[in-house]
Amino acid sequence: MHPPGDDFVSRVLAVVDAIPAGQVMTYGDVAATIGSRAARAVGTVMARYGSEFTWWRVIRAGGHPPVCHEDQALSYYEHESTPLKWMPDGSYRVNLRLARYRP
DNA sequence: GGCTTGACCACGC
DNA sequence: CGCGTGGCCAAGC
Q: State the pLDDT at residue A5.
A: 76
Q: Structural domain of residue A54, as residue ranges?
A: 8-95
What protein residues sit with their CB closer than 7 Å to strand C?
Answer: A 7-9, 36-41, 44, 87, 89, 93
Q: Please check whether residue A1 lies inside any domain of the structure.
A: no
Q: State the pLDDT at residue A21.
A: 97
Q: CA of A4 and C1' of C3: distance in angstroms?
A: 41
CA A70, A71, A77, A82 torsion-angle sign: positive
Work out if A96's Cβ lies within 7 angstroms of strand B. Answer: no
Q: Give the number of domains in chain A.
A: 1
Give the Cα separation of A41 and A43 in Å (integer). Answer: 5
Q: Please check whether residue A47 lies inside any domain of the structure.
A: yes
Q: CA of A89 and C1' of C2: distance in angstroms?
A: 14
CATH of the domain at A42: 1.10.10.10
Q: Please check whether residue A100 lies inside any domain of the structure.
A: no
pTM given for the model: 0.94
Amino acid at A53: F
Name the residue closest to B10, CA to C1'. A61
Q: Please check whether residue A86 lies inside any domain of the structure.
A: yes
Give the Cα separation of A60 and A39 in Å (integer). Answer: 9
Tens-place pLDDT, residues A10-21: 999 999 999 999
